[in-house]
Structure 1
Amino acid sequence: VDRKKDLILSGGQNIYPSDIEAVLLKHPSVTSAAVIAAPHDEWGETPFAVVEVTEDANGDEIMAWANEKLGRRQRLTGLHIVESLPRNPNGKILKRELKKSLLAERS
């Protein structure tokens, strides 16, 4: 169950990050995934993925693979590979930290 604050509102449609994360985790190279809302001029927000992967992974290939399996509104507009996702002591991914990093990179 996604928290309301994690919900992505794109063009008036609700997008649940957990649905997209479930698809990403089916890719053989993806070991962990988080999907956050990225600001978008036309749609308001769009899904952006941050993933941990095996050594031989290609971000463009993973994004294309996932977008083939996702609904039109769920498609990723970006994907970033990281060595490790930020987590709290209980192992939960800190999406707020990812969003801060994304906004800092884009400004």
Structure 2
Amino acid sequence: VWPREIEEVISSHPAVAEVGVIGVPDQMRGEVVKAFVVLRPGHSATPSELKFFCRDRLVHYKVPAKYELVTELPKTQVGKVLRRILRQAEDNTEEVELVAAGPDAP
């Protein structure tokens, strides 16, 4: 799965200003697609709306399983999305969730 292809589809949604896509671990599938989405000022869209939008335009295995609405994306000086920073943030979030759940959590 090429992130750019998925990003182009999501970017074509009228409410989307920018998007960055990464693969994240999934217990059932090994890895799934996650989209970090910045909305245009004055526009709104829910993760469910974005998922339905993608379902009409991508084959099922390319449709992101997870969506996170963010205010900005980390970028290089030339404006390219830094996917490694998104992955690091995702890894840190998972660690925080595991600690918050406690050692006895399933």
Q: Distance in 1 between matches of 2:65 and 2:91?
A: 15
Provide the identity percentage: 26
The gaps in structure 1 that reach 5 residues or longer are: 1-14
2:55 aligned partner: 67
Task: Quote the offset at 1:56 in angstroms.
Answer: 2.7
Residues 1:99 and 2:90 are matched in the alignment: no
Give matches, 1:25-104, under 5 Å: 25-54=11-40, 55-60=42-47, 61-104=49-92
1:12 aligned partner: none
The gaps in structure 2 that reach 5 residues or longer are: 96-106
Q: Taking structure 2 as the reference length, what is the TM-score of the superposition?
A: 0.80
Residues 1:24 and 2:14 are matched in the alignment: no
Q: Distance in 2 between matches of 1:96 and 1:67?
A: 26
- How many residue pairs get matched? 93
Q: Distance in 2 between matches of 1:52 and 1:26?
A: 13
Task: Quote the offset at 1:68 in angstroms.
Answer: 2.8
Maintained 8 Å contact 1:34/1:51: yes
Pairwise CA RMSD of aligned residues? 1.3
Task: Give the ranges of 4+ consecutive aligned residues of structure 1 lying more than 6 Å apart after TM superposition.
Answer: none
Secondary structure of the residue aligned to 1:19 is helix
Letter in 1 for 2:86: L
Q: Based on CA coordinates, which of the two structures has the bigger radius of gyration?
A: 2
Q: Taking structure 1 as the reference length, what is the TM-score of the superposition?
A: 0.79
